[in-house]
Structure 1
């Protein structure tokens, strides 16, 4: 692979965005790619935006993805997809968790959650809508929605040549491994 590929992961603090980027980075490094990762926590502990940029290829010089450069945008929350969509290439793919986490102004009634996000995304980009929260709840743990999204990302971006189950075994604590493997496989199927 000569061309550098750019993956932008966006979400809200506590959704596991950074864990997914670490799993992704580990798998790509093991597959022999040069990988650079950058993460921004912001006000993550207070429900703020979290972004992670993963770039990989034969040789990567910078971890930063510029506007209009992401090959794929994975949004763990719908409003975050809208907030970061300008970073996606015109022919890029957006994988969106159809999940809403109200920001503080929305939570206290000072603003409304924006409507029509999914429709606007689908009108302008190849959009894959995932209900990762529902899938995670069916598995018995809402916290696995990040791994559901990882599975969907792997499938959408055709990164199937890597043994992701082995990578999960190396990173996920043993007591949470079985449910996370199931979440990953469900995500691949979505």
Structure 2
């Protein structure tokens, strides 16, 4: 059975790197994997999304609305843009992180943080603070690897050798911190959450 994963964020958050590590790990585990990326104005904090499909035989990289098993959002508002892709019992992992889009920055719109948070409660989303956890580890840029760890735990893909995937795909001086970040991300998903889903 094919599984569908959507990762969304804004430019500069490392969404695509996380997707590529995920795809590499799934392929090395023997799955047929298809990945597609959509970059908005990614250099300017625009929307970035990536779709990853894996299973025994996957024909298309495109995830249709209402069929995603999990949505992993690197930024809060981006999550809400993509909830329509989730299947009825799909999971949501949301980074407790806010990036003001251009309409908000120029005063043409408001970032409705309270309403967004209330929506996540209704959707029973796993809201994790990957940004602060990355800072605690000593490098804000590993936020994406923390989210990758949370995704792996949520999808119960821990049997794949992710440590080796990180070693082979990250610059040597960043390997240790990325492995730590990945493990911290897995810890942020509770057993209760896995049972609920």
TM-score by length of 2: 0.93
Report the alpha carbon displacement of residue 46 of structure 1 after superposing the two structures with TM. 1.3
Partner Cα distance (2:50, 2:127) in 1 = 20
Matches within 5 A, 1:137-176: 137-176=135-174
Partner Cα distance (1:122, 1:34) in 2 = 34
Please list every run of 5 or more consecutive structure 1 residues that lacks an aligned counterpart in the other structure. Answer: none
Report the alpha carbon displacement of residue 121 of structure 1 after superposing the two structures with TM. 2.5
Does the 8 A contact of 1:92 with 1:126 survive in 2? no
RMSD: 0.8
Q: In terms of mean alpha carbon deviation, does 104-113 or 85-94 score higher?
A: 104-113
Q: In terms of mean alpha carbon deviation, does 48-57 or 172-181 score higher?
A: 172-181
SS of equivalent residue, structure 2 residue 13: coil
Matches within 5 A, 1:108-187: 108-115=106-113, 116-123=115-122, 125-187=123-185
Establish whether residue 46 from structure 1 lines up as the match of residue 44 from structure 2.
Answer: yes
Partner Cα distance (2:106, 2:148) in 1 = 32
Please list every run of 5 or more consecutive structure 2 residues that lacks an aligned counterpart in the other structure. Answer: 189-197
TM-score by length of 1: 0.96
Partner Cα distance (1:126, 1:35) in 2 = 28
Runs of 4+ in 1 over 3 A off after TM superposition: none
Partner of residue 25, structure 2: 27
Partner of residue 195, structure 2: none
Partner Cα distance (1:75, 1:97) in 2 = 6
Partner Cα distance (2:117, 2:165) in 1 = 32
SS of equivalent residue, structure 2 residue 57: coil
For residues 38-78 of structure 1, the C-alpha deviation after alignment (integer angstroms, 9 at most, x for no partner) is 00112111110000000000000000001111100000000
SS of equivalent residue, structure 1 residue 14: coil
Partner Cα distance (1:148, 1:142) in 2 = 10
Partner of residue 15, structure 1: 13
Partner of residue 189, structure 1: 187
For residues 13-58 of structure 1, the C-alpha deviation after alignment (integer angstroms, 9 at most, x for no partner) is 0000000000000000000000000001121111100000000000
Partner Cα distance (1:90, 1:117) in 2 = 19
Count of paired positions: 187
